[in-house]
Copies of this chain bind each other. A is one copy, B any other.
């Protein structure tokens, strides 16, 4: 999997944002850009509308309110993570290999959309409790799939059968998340994707049977 392909889809210029897409997607994509460039608290609806090339009022034909835009951003983008992870789960490979693919996919997608990485790791976390809870609901879907990998691995004796699933999940997701956040906070100045094998190795050591 080559993360550069994602790069082109996400960052293919503003023109792409405005053309041949339903307005809904136009607005979601505009929101990512505006939030990344201006910060969560400076991402006014009017700015998002302008970037999306629609009138302010048009936003409200597609979203209930500003909150709804933000949650939709997360849901839409996270959707790709989930879809990819489902494909990975359906492959006939070891649990360890699935974990490796998962980490790689996660890193790939965010390294391929730097603005999205800023939005998910930093900006969206400034949202209020309500929004964060709903974002968490979306995240749960992803974590359920991670749990499936862990369970499969334990059943196949690849992972320690005595492992506490919840803690293992928190270690895996916490490590991935912390790694990405640190990378974003360091202005993406080193290559994230190349860290994937090491992260995988570290996590595998911790979980191996």
Q: Using Cβ atoms and an 8 Å threshold, which residues of chain B touch A179? A: 167, 170, 174
**In the bound complex, do residue A132 and residue B128 qualify as a contact, i.e. CB atoms below 8 Å apart?**
no
Q: How far is the CB of A114 from chain B (nearest CB, A)?
A: 16
Query: In the complex the two chains form, what is the Cα distance from A126 to B185 in whole Å?
Result: 16
Interface of A is mostly: helix
Query: In the complex the two chains form, what is the Cα distance from A179 to B169 in whole Å?
Result: 9
Q: Is A205 an interface residue (CB 8 A)?
A: yes
The 8 A CB mask of A107-128 against B (1 = contact, 0 = none) is: 0000000000000001101111
**In the bound complex, do residue A170 and residue B166 qualify as a contact, i.e. CB atoms below 8 Å apart?**
no
Query: In the complex the two chains form, what is the Cα distance from A192 to B185 in whole Å?
Result: 29
For the side of the interface on A, what is the size category?
35 or more
Query: In the complex the two chains form, what is the Cα distance from A174 to B132 in whole Å?
Result: 18
Write the chain B residue with the least CB distance to A182.
B170
- Tell me the number of copies of this protein: 4
The interface stretch among A56-64, A67-75, A194-202 is A194-202
Residues 127 to 149 of chain A near chain B (Cβ within 8 Å): 127-129, 132-133, 136
Q: Using Cβ atoms and an 8 Å threshold, which residues of chain B touch A41? A: 128
Write the chain B residue with the least CB distance to A186.
B166
Q: Is A208 an interface residue (CB 8 A)?
A: yes
Q: Using Cβ atoms and an 8 Å threshold, which residues of chain B touch A198? A: 164, 167
Query: In the complex the two chains form, what is the Cα distance from A198 to B160 in whole Å?
Result: 13
Write the chain B residue with the least CB distance to A208.
B205
Q: Using Cβ atoms and an 8 Å threshold, which residues of chain B touch A208? A: 205
**In the bound complex, do residue B167 and residue A199 qualify as a contact, i.e. CB atoms below 8 Å apart?**
yes
The 8 A CB mask of A77-88 against B (1 = contact, 0 = none) is: 000000000000
10 A-B pairs with the lowest CB-CB distances in the bound complex, closest first: A174-B178, A206-B206, A174-B174, A170-B178, A171-B175, A205-B206, A174-B175, A170-B179, A126-B126, A125-B125
Q: Jot down 14 A-B pairs with beta carbons below 8 A, ordered by A.
A: A41-B128, A126-B126, A126-B128, A164-B198, A167-B199, A171-B175, A171-B178, A174-B175, A174-B177, A175-B175, A202-B207, A205-B207, A205-B208, A206-B206
